């Protein structure tokens, strides 16, 4: 019985590459990326808007400058990239099942450092009428925080160090219970 | 002996001494299957024992799919297991 430590960076484990969804069936409906170069809000909007869209709803998560009185310098993100992309694709499919009028969805998440004031996650959904698009973006961010394997370290100003954060939603993984 | 790879992320990676992955040789449970439980992983990799034994803290994934809590993983050579600490994306 032996164990071997792999100190080299494992490609499946890397935070250094852009991972894009390559499932052909979903390519037209979903824009999914886990990447160091986050697409802009305009890129996401342009992807989801279609001729039948009467509404586009968007959510942008941004690095806040403080946490419980401490000044935050940046957030640093790490992901299990291939699984995060697969789970995002499942999440987009679940969202279209739940909100059946949704036309298209963009779901993009940053990797690496995200300074204060910059976007870490953008979610956008289009639909003929407003309600599905609005409910869909709320569902997407709530579920993303619960089940997409991405982690952030919050780095504070000065010598206050840093901590791995834990989403409250991650404790509610009831679908993984037997 | 079948070998699998165990990926470590975030707090789990750091707890192991900043090691991103570990290759584990499994003892054969039968002719073509082996089994990896949390306790066997903890035994094989003592630095991870406090983390991996805690089902509330570490969720497991097998080949990029979440594993239901409490289940034992039947494995084959080349499988990839991941230790998933509490998620903090967003």
pLDDT at A178 (0 to 100)? 29
> How much is the average pLDDT of A92-111?
98
CB A108 within 8 A of CB A40: no
pLDDT at B40 (0 to 100)? 77
Distance of CA B5 to the CA centre of its chain: 8
- CATH class of residue range A15-164: alpha beta
| pLDDT over 60 (residue A14) | no
- Tell me the pLDDT tens digit for each residue of B17-48: 899 999 888 766 654 456 777 887 788 778 88
Min Cα distance A177 → chain B (Å) is: 5
> How much is the average pLDDT of A105-123?
98
pLDDT at A139 (0 to 100)? 98
| pLDDT over 50 (residue A164) | yes
H-assigned helices in A21-177 = 24-27, 41-48, 81-98, 130-147
In terms of pLDDT, which residue wins out, B75 or A11? B75
Tell me how crowded residue A27 is: count the other CB atoms within 10 A of its CB. Answer: 12
pLDDT at A5 (0 to 100)? 62
Distance of CA A163 to the CA centre of its chain: 20
Domains of chain B: 3-84 (3.10.20.30)
Closest among A114, A19, A93 to B89, alpha carbons compared: A114
Highest mean pLDDT, choosing among A10-14, A108-112, B36-40: A108-112
| pLDDT over 70 (residue B57) | yes
- Tell me the pLDDT tens digit for each residue of A122-156: 999 999 999 999 999 999 999 999 999 999 999 99
pLDDT confidence tier of residue B76, bands split at 50, 70 and 90: confident
pLDDT at A4 (0 to 100)? 59
What ipTM does the predicted assembly reach? 0.91
pLDDT confidence tier of residue B85, bands split at 50, 70 and 90: very high
- Which of B14, B61, B71, B90 to mutate: most A Cβ within 10 Å? B90
Token output for A9: 């960076």
> Which letter does DSSP use for residue B5 in this model?
E
Distance CA A141, CA B90 (A): 7
Burial of residue A114, with CB atoms counted within 10 A of its CB: 0-12 exposed, 13-18 middle, 19 or more buried: buried
Distance CA A113, CA A72 (A): 12
| pLDDT over 60 (residue A33) | yes
pLDDT confidence tier of residue A44, bands split at 50, 70 and 90: very high
Give the nearest chain A residue to B66 (CA atoms).
A176
- Which residues, numbered 108 to 167 in chain A, qualify as contacts with chain B under a Cβ-Cβ cut-off of 8 Å? 109, 120-121, 141, 144-153, 164-167
* Mean pLDDT, chain A, integer: 88
Chain A contact set for B19 (CB, 8 A): 5-7
> How much is the average pLDDT of A44-67?
97
Residues 6+ apart with CB under 8 A from A4: B22, B23, B24
pLDDT at A72 (0 to 100)? 96
- Which residues, numbered 46 to 85 in chain B, qualify as contacts with chain A under a Cβ-Cβ cut-off of 8 Å? 56, 59, 61, 64-71, 80, 82, 84-85
| pLDDT over 70 (residue A38) | yes
Question: SS3 for A151?
Answer: strand
């Amino acid at each position: 019985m032996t164990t071997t430590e792999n100190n080299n960076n494992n490609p499946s484990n890397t935070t250094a590459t852009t991972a894009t969804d390559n499932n052909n069936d979903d390519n037209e409906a979903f824009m999914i990326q886990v990447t160091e170069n986050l697409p802009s809000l305009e890129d996401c909007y342009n992807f989801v808007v279609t001729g039948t869209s009467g509404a586009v709803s968007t959510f942008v998560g941004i690095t806040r400058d403080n946490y419980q009185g401490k000044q935050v310098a940046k957030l640093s993100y790490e992901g299990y990239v291939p699984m995060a992309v697969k789970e995002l694709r499942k999440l987009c499919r679940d969202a279209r099942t739940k909100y059946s009028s949704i036309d298209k969805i963009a779901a993009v998440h940053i990797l690496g450092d995200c300074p204060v004031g910059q976007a870490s996650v953008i979610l956008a959904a289009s639909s003929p009428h407003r309600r599905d698009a609005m409910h869909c973006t709320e569902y997407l961010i709530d579920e993303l925080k619960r089940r997409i394997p991405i982690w952030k370290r919050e780095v504070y100003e000065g010598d206050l160090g840093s901590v791995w954060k834990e989403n409250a939603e991650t404790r509610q993984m009831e679908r993984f219970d037997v | 002996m079948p070998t699998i790879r165990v990926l470590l992320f975030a707090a789990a990676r750091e707890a192991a001494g900043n090691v991103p992955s570990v290759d584990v040789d499994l003892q054969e449970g039968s002719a073509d299957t082996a089994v990896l439980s949390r306790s066997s992983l903890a035994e094989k990799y003592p630095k991870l024992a406090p983390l991996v034994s805690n089902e509330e803290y570490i969720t497991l994934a097998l080949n990029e799919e979440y594993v239901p809590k409490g289940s034992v993983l039947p494995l084959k050579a080349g499988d990839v297991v991941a230790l998933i600490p509490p998620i903090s994306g967003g």
